[in-house]
Each structure stands twice: as structure tokens, then as C-alpha cells.
Structure 1
Amino acid sequence: MTTETRKAPSPLRSSPFRRVIAAEFISSVGTQMTTLALPWFVLTTSGSPARMGLVFLIQILPVPLLSMPAGLLVARWGARRVTIVGDLCSATLIAAVPALYLMDMLPFWALLVIVALLGCVTAGYLSAQRMLLTDTIGTDESLVTAGNALFETATSTARLLGPAVAGLLVAQIGALNVLWADAASFALSAALLTRLPRTTPSPQPLAAHNMAEGARHLLRDPVLRTLALATLGYGTLMPVVMLALPVLATDRYHADPHVAGWLLAAWGGGTALGTVLVAWLARRTAPLKLAAAGGAGAAVVLWLLPWDQPVTTLALTVAISCMFLPAVTAPAVTMMMLRPPEHLRAHVVPVFGAAVFLASPIAYGTAGLLFEHLAVSTVLTAVAVGATLCALPLLKLGLSPNRP
């Protein structure tokens, strides 16, 4: 594993890496379309917001619960096989919703079973996706950090395009047909990944103690522990900021829906720009220095959010704060993938991913309660304090001349 700072070649020069990014973008666009189409389908067919919420819960719940066992599967089968099988299973399950509905064979309990199975597949899929990067571009820190940033670029761009495309398609062709399109996106993703070179996973026993050892290694290693805690902290704080945006539009800007739209667009645009910049900087900057700079920059900018200011500067503040965050997450994921011993890598990443995945729904639920009882400026000040506390250990880690 190299630690020297130098300009590395772009991972986009690798044809297998381009296939991974293309597959991720295509399947993510389809997934974002389903994120709108499936609840719309449930709401319009049942008329029940409670049923719609239950569908979301049942689909998300298996992901953190099964992330660690999924890591065992990735270690045994390999990332390529797990991802391809996950794509094909997702395509089949999503297509089953409109198919069964058209045959009048989709009671609500059957829909819950389908979305629960989708959640189970997603748990393994998420564990395998990032491991595909090292299969395609190797284990150089700079290359993998740039690859992770480009991976996030594909995902964040899909998050911008998917809901907008879904809104148009739901209005034009109906929610059921949008689900067919998502199923097709997973099938196309699988077809792209079948062209990847085959890799032989290291033979190792499929035992739970490997996952426990991965968790212990994550907690014992000072670098991984610092990165994991900081990333988890930002993963908890930033959903609070996102939920604050419509509250700010309501409280400060006369409940103007256009303002809420601009602020959300600034969020997505800042994140997308940040991932592109990190992909460029990662080839010139050591991962720990990059994480330290990203954490410090985000913390400083977040102190500007509580101020009463024109909407233009607020949108710029939101965009810049989101632009810094990929500089934390991409190096963190890279170190989780490369720093552990090779036999533990497939077990450390799922532990880290499960913790971060759990942070967002908890943060959204807590933020809703906070905004009901506290002023938005008070909550955002607390977010800035929390971000500063996350940034301090990153700065110590990145600037230490004797860092591991």
C-alpha cells in the first residue's frame, strides 16, 4: 500500500472500472425512479400513507441487519459474482410487482415480502459494490480514493436525475411502467458486469467470527477508528441539515417553495461537484490529508448556516458544505478497503457500512422532533459544534508527521 503523495493515473483509463461506474449509474437511476414510483403506486392503489411508510421500513430494515452476514458471502463468492447475482435478483423482484398486480395476484402482504427480499439483496449488493473497485483498479491508495469519488459522482448524479425522470414518467406512463424500467436497469447493469475479468476469492471459512474480528480490527486500529467515527458523525449531522432546508424556506423566506427547491438543488449540486474535485485531488493528495481538509472545510462552512442571510448566500453555503464532504467519505472508504489485512477487508467494510447506513434514518427521525421543539438556528448551531468535534481528530490524524 503506497502512502507517498504523487499524481496517479486516472482510474477512468481502466475499461473494467468504466464498466463498474456505468453499471452503478444505470442501476442507481433506476433505483431512484423506484424510490418515487413504488410509494406512489402503494399510495394510489391503497390510499394509505401508513402502508406506504411500512413499505419503506420493510425494505430498509434488512440492510443494516444483514450487512455483516453479507460480508461473509462477498468473502466467499467474490464481489463480481455477488453484484451480478444481486442485479439479476433485483430485476426479478422489481418486475414481479407490476407482473403480479396485472394478474391480480398482489395482496399487500406479498408486496411486503417482495420489498423485504429486495432489502436482503441490497445488503449483499452494497457490501460487494466497493470491493469491485479494487478488483478493477488495484490497491493503490490514490487510485482507489479517486475511484471511490467517481463512484459517488455516479451515485449522486443518479440521485439528481432519477427522481426528476421518474416524476415525468409516472405522469406519462404510470408508476407500474416505471417499475418495469427499473427492472430493466438492473438487467443492463448485470450485463455490463458480466464482461468484468473473473477473480478468484481467497478461500476462507464462512464463519461469523471473521465478522467479529473485522469489527474488532476496526475499533483497534486508530486510523480506521478515527475515520469511522468522523464519517459516522457527519453521516448523522448532514441529514439534519438536509431536513432543515424546507424549514428554513418556511421560517425565513415566506414559505416559498422555489427557495426550498433551490436549496435542495444546491445540496445535490455541491455534492456532485465535490465528488469530481475529490477524484482529481485524490491523485495528488494523500488520503488522510484529504480527509482532514474535507472535515475542516465542512466544519467551518457549517458555522455560517445558522445566520439569517439572503437566500443566495444560504444556497452557496449549503453547496460548499456538501462539496467538502466527499473529501471525508472517499478516503474513509478507501482506508476501510485497503488498510486491514487482506483476509479481513471483506469483513471490515460491511461493519462500517452498516453503522453509516443506520445513522441516516435515526438522524432524520431525531431531526423532525428537534425542529418541532427548537428554533432552526439553534439546531444548526448544534450541527456546527458537532461537525467541529468530528473535524478535530481528522486534523490531528492528517497533519501528524508520525501518522501510521
Structure 2
Amino acid sequence: MTTAPAQRSPLRSWQFRRVIAAEFISSVGTQMTTLALPWFVLMTSGSPARMGLVFVIQILPVPLLAMPAGLLVARWGARRVTIAGDIANTVLLAAVPTLYFAGMLPFWALLVIVALVGCVASAYLSAQRMLLTEAIGSDEGTVTAGNALFETATSTARLVGPAIAGFLIAQFGALTVLWVDAASFAVSAALLTGLPRREAAPEPLSANRMAEGVRYLFRDPLLRTMSLAALGYGTLMPVVLLALPVMARSRYDANPHVAGLLLAAWGGGTALGTVVVARLARRISPTRFAAYGGVGAAVVLWLLPWDQPATTAALTVAASCMFLPGVTAPAVALLTLRPPEHLRPHVLPVFGAAVFVASPIAYAVAGVLFEHLAVSTVLVAVAVGASLCALVLVNLARRPAD
């Protein structure tokens, strides 16, 4: 009598590992550029306004083009769009130092390059998530775990990328960092080139299909509720992130080490949370997991407004961020898998566009609030909002599965 061999987890497949490795490498490069490009603009122009304009120009195409970009992903396929995005980013980022050293980089040309990078990102972000699903299959638990590990790579990149960039800028200058980022996208493209192609009939580019995806998201009660709750947390947490340096200034004698500790706690908590989600995702349904994560984050956020030692504050920040992947990873998994296959490339970009619109607005509003209100007052309001989102998720988890 023989025993059938245990089925190998898709998360251990070489395809999945290549996707995660490509994401991590390109994300590290991107996080390095997030520091290096503004620093380059500020040092060469001396204008904070120009530096801020670069941020706006890069972000703006993402929400504007996210839904049309879904049509491109549906037509070309996630693998092809991701590789094309890697190649385009390699060329665009390498063009900045090349043109600058050739004396051919006026500010308007830099803005054009940055805008093109944002246009590439509009399709690249959703294509990466679809590629992840293609690599590991369509089981909800596995996709939730895969998305959590995907976010682990991104969160870890947020930790190490700026630190590497700071060292390279000090030693070699900001333009060297842009060369490194260009190389990271080239490596990502090389890693993804070997993935097997997913054969599918090409889908004609159709605005009707895009509109159908939008209607599906708003008509499906589960996706609509999950998306709104996840968007709620995505709007509230930027306020917390902006509060951290304000807390360091007002509560801890403007100590820059405390500010660094709080920011490190943010990244470390998020990375730890994604690992936990990856290990437990196949044991818990996505809606229940989101409810657990939402409640945990809301409870911990109630501790943040009160005065406390810096170490305790850092632990509180880390704990609140640790629970958030429990909301975001299940939400992305459901947005990826629940729609019919022909609508999947058109549903996820709607959520992505909403997040990209909400985050800058949240930063802008938070900046005004911290000018006129105490940081503790704003953080109490954040805790109230998080509690309302948690109640929505708990109510969703209590509904019978359909």
C-alpha cells in the first residue's frame, strides 16, 4: 500500500519565487529613487516647490489611467505588461542621469520623464498582482498568502531602500541611485522573462468591458463592502504616518532618533504582519481574516493618542501596522479572484486608483489638521474612523458565505 505524495504548495514554486524576487528587487530600486529624485531636484534647483511638483506629476497619471490600463492588461496579459513596464522604467530612469550629464535635461524634460514613469505605473501595479495569481493559482487562501508575501517584499523594500539610497547619495551622488534603480528594473524583467506564458484569447480593447468591471465592483455586496473598509484604512493610516514626525517634535523634544524609531516601527510592523498573514491565510477565510485584522488595528490605534515613552509608542505603531495586512491582503485576493475571469483586469485597478487618489488627499488634509489641532486630537479621530471600519468588516464576516 502506497501513500500519495503531499501536494507541493504553489508558494514554493519557482514561478512564485521569481515573481516575489522581481518585486523585491524593483521595489528596493523604487524606494531608493523616492529619496534620490527629490534630493536631486532640490539640490540642483534649490526649489522645494519644484520638488513637490515632481511628486504630483509622478502620482497623477496612476489614478487617471488605472482603469484604461486594465484594458491593456486584459489585452496583452499580466506577464507581458509587467516585463514591458520593467523595460520602459529601465530606459526612463537611465535617461535622467544620461541627459543631465549631456547637458540636455531642462526641468520640463524631467517632468515629462517623471510623468511617463507614472503612466507606466498605472498598468504595472495591477499587472503585478495579476501575474502573482497566474503563478500560484486561484485558491483564495493561497492567493491571500501570496499577496501577503508580496507585501512583505514591498514592506521590506521600504525599510532597506531609503537606507541604501542615503548611503549611495552621500558617497556617489543622487544620480548614481537612479542608475541603480534602472538596473533593478532590468533585473526584474530578466527574472520574469523565463515565466511560462499563459495562453488566453486576446481580449479586444473595449470601454464597455471596463465599465462592466466598475459596475461589478459596486454591485457585488461583498467586494463593495470589503473595498470601502480597506480604502478607509488606506485613508486613515497616511494620517498616522504623517503624525509620527509631529509626535517626535511635540512629545519627544524634537529628537530625530525618535522619529527614525517610529518610522522603523511602521515598516517593521507591516513586514511582520505580512509574514503572519502568509502563514495563516489558508486556514482562515478572507472575510474573517479581514475582520480580525481590522479589529486588531482599531484597538491598538486607541492607544496611540495618549502620552507614553518613545519605546512604547514605537511598539504601538508597530502593532497597529502589523494588523493592517490582515485587511489589505484578503481584500486584494477577493478583488482578484471573485470577479469572472474576463473582468478581473478591470476590477482591481478601480480599487488601486481609489487608493492612489485617497492617499495624497489624506496627506494634504492631515497636514492642515496638524497645523490647527493637537496631534492627540487627530489620532483620536483616526481611532474612531478605524473602529467604524472594523465594525463594517465584523458585520461582513458574520454574513453567510455566498
Using the size of structure 1 for normalisation, the TM-score is 0.96
Distance 1:380 1:23 in 2: 36
Aligned to 2:180: 181
SS at match of 2:196: coil
The 1:202/1:394 distance shift into structure 2, 3 A limit, reads farther
Q: Secondary structure of the equivalent of 2:283?
A: coil
Give CA deviations for 1:35-74 in whole Å, capped at 9, x if unaligned: 1111111111111111111111111110110000100000
Q: Give the aligned residue type for 1:89.
A: A
Correspondence for 1:3:
none
* Native 8 Å contact 1:84 1:193 kept in 2: yes
C-alpha deviation, 1:200, in angstroms = 2.2
> Any conservation in 2 of the 1:9–1:283 contact (CA below 8 Å)?
no
Any conservation in 2 of the 1:75–1:202 contact (CA below 8 Å)? Answer: no
- Taking the aligned partners of 1:284 and 1:9, their CA distance within structure 2 comes to 17
Q: Structure 2 matches for 1:154-169, cutoff 5 A? A: 154-169=153-168
27 and 96 in structure 1: CA distance in 2 versus 1, 3 angstrom threshold: same
* 3-state SS of 1:282 partner: helix
Aligned partners of 2:93 and 2:354: how far apart in 1?
27
Q: Secondary structure at the match of 1:316?
A: helix
Contact residue 292 and residue 395 of structure 1 kept, 8 A: yes
* Bigger mean CA deviation after superposition, 155-164 or 241-250: 241-250
* Structural mapping, 1:86-97, within 5 Å: 86-97=85-96
Deviates more, 1:82-91 or 1:371-380: 371-380
- In 2, the alpha carbon distance for the partners of 1:201 and 1:54 equals 41
Aligned to 2:291: 292
Give secondary structure in 1 for the equivalent of 2:382.
Answer: helix
- Residue equivalent to 2:30: 31
The structural deviation recorded for 1:111 is 0.7
Instruction: Return the offset for 1:10.
Output: 4.3
Distance 1:230 1:186 in 2: 33
Aligned to 1:403: 401
Give me the CA root mean square deviation.
1.2
Structure 1 portions without partners, runs of 5+: 1-6
Give the superposition deviation at 1:203: 3.0
The letter of the residue matching 1:322 is C
Q: Give the distance between the partners of 1:39 and 1:73, measured in 2 at CA.
A: 30
Shift of 1:284: 1.4
The 3-state SS of whatever aligns with 1:155 is helix
Report the equivalent of 2:325: 326
Shift of 1:399: 2.7
Give the match for residue 3 of structure 2.
none
Q: Which amino acid aligns with 2:255?
A: D
Q: Aligned partners of 2:52, 2:203: CA distance in 1, in Å?
A: 40
Q: Which residue of 2 aligns with 1:195?
A: 194
Name the CA distance, whole Å, in 2 between partners of 1:246 and 1:141. Answer: 38
The residue number in structure 2 matching 1:338 is: 337
Give the distance between the partners of 1:394 and 1:282, measured in 2 at CA: 17
1:70 corresponds to: 69
User: Match of 1:180, as an amino acid?
Assistant: W
What code does the residue aligned with 1:229 have?
Answer: L
Greater Cα offset, 151-160 or 50-59: 50-59
Q: Is the 8 A contact 2:11 2:142 kept in 1?
A: no
Q: Is the 8 A contact 2:76 2:202 kept in 1?
A: no
Query: Per-residue CA shift, 1:348-376, capped at 9, x if unaligned?
Result: 01011100121111100000000111111
Q: How many pairs align?
A: 397
Question: Which residue of structure 2 lines up, in the alignment, with residue 103 of structure 1?
Answer: 102
Deviation at 1:201, TM superposition (A): 3.3
Give the counterpart letter for 2:48 in structure 1.
P
Which residue identity does 1:281 align to in structure 2? L
- Hey, what does 2:150 align to over in structure 1? 151
Provide the rounded CA distance (Å) in 2 between the counterparts of 1:228 and 1:208.
22
Q: Distance in 1 between matches of 2:95 and 2:258?
A: 39
Cα distance in 1 for partners of 2:392, 2:117 equals 37
Name the CA distance, whole Å, in 2 between partners of 1:348 and 1:380: 32
Higher mean C-alpha displacement, 310-319 vs 272-281? 310-319
Matches within 5 A, 1:137-148: 137-148=136-147
1:178 Cα offset (Å)? 1.2
Q: Tell me the CA shift for residue 11 of structure 1.
A: 3.8
2:59 touches 2:356 (CA, 8 Å); kept in 1?
Answer: no
Give the SS at the match of 1:200: coil
Distance 1:206 1:13, change over 3 A: same
Equivalent residue letter for 2:35: L
Query: In 2, are the aligned partners of 1:156 and 1:271 still within 8 Å (CA)?
Result: yes
More divergent stretch after superposition (43-52 vs 323-332)? 43-52
1:4 aligned partner = none
- Paired with 1:216 and 1:65, the residues of 2 have a C-alpha distance of 18
**1:122 equivalent in structure 2:** 121
Q: CA deviation digits over 1:76-121, x for unaligned, max 9? A: 0000000000000000000000111111111111111111111101
Over residues 135-181 of structure 1, what are the superposed CA-to-partner deviations in whole Å (9 max), with x where a residue is unaligned? 11110001100000000000000010000000000111111111111
| Structure 2 residue 356 is matched with structure 1 residue 357 | yes
2:383 paired residue number: 384
Give the deviation of 1:9 after TM superposition: 6.0
Residue 276 of structure 1 deviates from its aligned partner by 0.4
Q: How does 1:51-66 map to 2 (within 5 A)?
A: 51-66=50-65
User: Is the contact made by 1:290 and 1:331 (CA closer than 8 Å) also made in structure 2?
Assistant: yes
Counterpart of 1:130 in 2: which secondary structure?
helix
Q: 2: CA distance between counterparts of 1:106 and 1:201? A: 42
For 1:155, the aligned partner's letter is T
Name the aligned partner's letter for residue 403 of structure 1: A
Deviation of 1:8 (Å) = 9.1
Compare 148-157 and 168-177 and name the one that shifted more: 168-177
Shift in alpha-carbon separation, 1:361–1:8, aligned structure 2, 3 A: farther
Instruction: Report 1:189-268 matches (<5 A).
Output: 189-268=188-267
Work out the CA distance in 2 between the residues paired with 1:121 and 1:375.
Answer: 39
User: 5+ unaligned residues in a row in structure 2: which ranges?
Assistant: 1-5
